[in-house]
Chains A and B, each alone.
Chain A
Amino acid sequence: MSAPGIAAETERQRRLLAAIFAPQADAAACGEVCQDGARRQAGLAAYRGNGLAHACNALRMQFPTVLAMLGTQAFDALCARYWRACPPRRGDLAWVGEELPAYLATVEDLAQWPWLPDSARLDWAAWQTSRAAPPRISAADLQRLTEADPADLTLQFSACVGHLDSAWPIVTIHQAHQQADADWAAVRQAIAAGTGQTACIWRPLGDPSAAVQIEALEAATSRWVAALARGANIASALDAAGAAFDFAAWLRQAITQGWLDGVVVLPAE
Chain B
Amino acid sequence: MQATTLLHGIGLRQPHYREFRALRPALGFVEVHSENFFNPHDAAAQVLAAVREDYAVSLHGVGLALGSACGLDNEHVQQLADLVARIDPVRVSDHACFARAPWGQRGIAHASDLLPIAFTRASLDILCANVGRVQEHLKRPLLVENLSAYLDFSAREFSEPQFFAELVRRSGCGLLLDINNLYVNALNAAAPDPLQAVCAWIDELARLAPAGLVGEIHLAGFSAQQGLIIDDHSRPVSEHVWQAYAHALGHFDAVPTLIEWDEHLPTLSVLLGEAARAAALCAARRGTSTEAAA
Evaluate contact between A17 and B109: CB separation under 8 angstroms.
yes
B239 at the A interface (CB under 8 A): no
Contact flags (1/0) for A1-22 with B, using CB distance below 8 Å? 1100110111011101110110
Q: Give bound CA distance, A162 to B43, whole Å.
A: 19
- Residues of B within 8 Å of A2, CB to CB, are 121-122, 125
Q: How far is the CA of A47 from the CA of B100 in the complex (A)?
A: 14
Q: B155 contacts the other chain (Cβ, under 8 Å)?
A: yes
Selected interface stretch from A85-93, A106-114, A142-150, A174-182: A85-93
Complex-state Cα separation, A136 to B99, whole angstroms: 36
Determine the residue in chain A with the shortest Cβ distance to B226: A42
Query: 8 Å CB contacts to A: which residues of B72-109?
Result: 73, 75-76, 79, 98-103, 106-109
* CB of B14 within 8 Å of the partner chain: no
Contact A47 B112 (CB under 8 A): no
> How many angstroms between the C-alpha atoms of A42 and B76 in the bound complex?
31
Contact B42 A208 (CB under 8 A): yes
B64 within 8 A of A: yes
Residue interface mask B47-69, A partner, CB < 8 A = 1 = 00000000000000011110011
Contact (Cβ within 8 A) B151 A90: no
Give per-residue flags for A205-240: 1 if the beta carbon is below 8 A from chain B beta carbons, else 0.
000110000000000000000000000000000000
Quick one: which of B183-228 are within 8 Å of A by CB?
225-228
B103 touches A10 (CB 8 A): no
Complex interface: stretch among B4-12, B33-41, B249-257: B33-41
Beta-carbon contacts of B115-149 to A below 8 Å, as 1s and 0s? 11110111101100100000000000000000000
Query: Do residues B115 and A16 form an inter-chain contact, with CB atoms below 8 A?
Result: yes
Cα A196 to Cα B244 with chains together (Å): 64
Whether A47 and B228, one on each chain, are in contact in the complex, defined by CB atoms closer than 8 angstroms, is: no
Point out which of A6, A46, A51, A208 has the most chain B C-beta atoms below 10 A from its C-beta: A46
B238 at the interface (CB under 8 A from A): no
> Which A2-52 residues have C-beta < 8 A from chain B?
2, 5-6, 8-10, 12-14, 16-18, 20-21, 30-35, 38-40, 42-47, 50-51
Cα separation A2 to B111 with both chains bound (whole Å): 26
Contacts of B113 in A (CB 8 A): 20, 47, 50-51, 54
Residues of B contacting A: mostly: mixed
B230 at the A interface (CB under 8 A):
yes
The verdict on B288 contacting chain A, using a C-beta distance below 8 Å, is no
Is residue A263 within 8 Å, beta carbon to beta carbon, of the partner chain?
A: no
What are the residues of chain A within 8 A of B41 when measuring CB–CB?
A: 131-134, 208
Q: How far is the CA of A46 from the CA of B39 in the complex (A)?
A: 30
Count of chain A residues with a beta carbon within 8 Å of a chain B beta carbon: 51
- Shortest distance between the CB of A81 and any CB in chain B (Å): 15
Instruction: Specify which of A5, A17, A132 lies most central, judged by the most chain B CB atoms within 10 Å of its CB.
Output: A17
Instruction: Chain A residues near B102: list those with CB within 8 A.
Output: 10, 14
A96 at the binding interface (Cβ < 8 Å): yes
Q: How far is the CA of A92 from the CA of B103 in the complex (A)?
A: 17
Report the minimal beta-carbon distance from A57 to chain B, rounded to whole angstroms: 10
Chain B 132-175: CB-based contact to A (< 8 A → 1; otherwise 0) = 00000000000000000011111100000000000000000000
Residues of chain A within 8 A of B110, CB atoms compared:
87-91
A131 CB, min distance to chain B CBs, angstroms:
5
Cross-chain contact of A90 among B68, B70, B76, B121 (Cβ < 8 A): B76
Q: Kindly state whether residue B46 has any CB partner on chain A within 8 Å.
A: yes
- Give the residues in chain A near B68, CB-CB below 8 Å: 13
Select A92's contact among B38, B115, B126, B150, beta carbons within 8 Å.
Answer: B38
Kindly list chain B residues whose C-beta atoms are within 8 Å of the C-beta of A14. 101-102
14 further interface pairs, Cβ-Cβ under 8 Å (given A2-B122, A87-B106) = A2-B121, A10-B70, A10-B102, A20-B111, A34-B153, A51-B113, A54-B113, A90-B75, A91-B65, A91-B99, A93-B112, A94-B38, A133-B41, A209-B43
Can you spell out 10 A-B residue pairs with CB atoms less than 8 angstroms apart? A2-B121, A2-B122, A13-B70, A13-B117, A34-B153, A87-B103, A91-B63, A91-B99, A92-B35, A132-B41
